[in-house]
Amino acid sequence: MQLPTERELAATIDHAILKPDLTRTDVDAELDIAAQWGVFSVCVRPSDIAYAVRRLDGTGVAVGTVIGFPHGTTSTTAKVAETIRAFEDGATECDMVLNIGALRSGFDDVVADDIRAVVDAAGGRITKVILETSLLDDEQIARGSRLTEAGGADFVKTSTGFAGGGATVPHVRLMRENVGAPVQVKASGGVRSLDTALAMLDAGATRLGTSASATILGELRAIHAGETASGAVDESSY
Q: pLDDT digits over 133-143, tens only? A: 999 999 999 99
pLDDT reported for residue 230: 65
Render pLDDT for 75-97 as a digit per residue (tens, 0 to 9).
Answer: 999 999 999 999 999 999 999 99
Mean pLDDT of 206-227: 96
Position 61 pLDDT exceeds 90: yes
Position 14 pLDDT exceeds 60: yes
Enumerate the H helices of the chain as residue ranges: 6-10, 24-37, 49-55, 76-88, 100-105, 108-122, 138-150, 169-177, 194-203, 213-236
Q: Considering only 173-177, 216-220, 227-231, which range has the smallest mean pLDDT?
A: 227-231
Find the helix or strand (DSSP H, E) in which 64 lies: strand 62-67
Q: Catalytic residue numbers?
A: 95, 157, 186
- For residue 227, what pLDDT band results from cuts at 50, 70 and 90? confident
Mean pLDDT of 14-21: 98
CATH topology of domain 10-230: TIM Barrel (3.20.20)
Position 35 pLDDT exceeds 50: yes
For 206, which DSSP code?
S
pLDDT reported for residue 165: 87
For 23, which DSSP code?
-
Position 228 pLDDT exceeds 80: no
pLDDT reported for residue 234: 35
Residue of 43, 24, 23, 97 lying closest to 209 (CA atoms): 43
pLDDT reported for residue 238: 22
Predicted TM-score (pTM) of the model is 0.94
Render pLDDT for 173-210 as a digit per residue (tens, 0 to 9).
Answer: 999 999 999 999 999 999 999 999 999 999 999 999 99
Residue of 114, 111, 104, 105 lying closest to 135 (CA atoms): 104
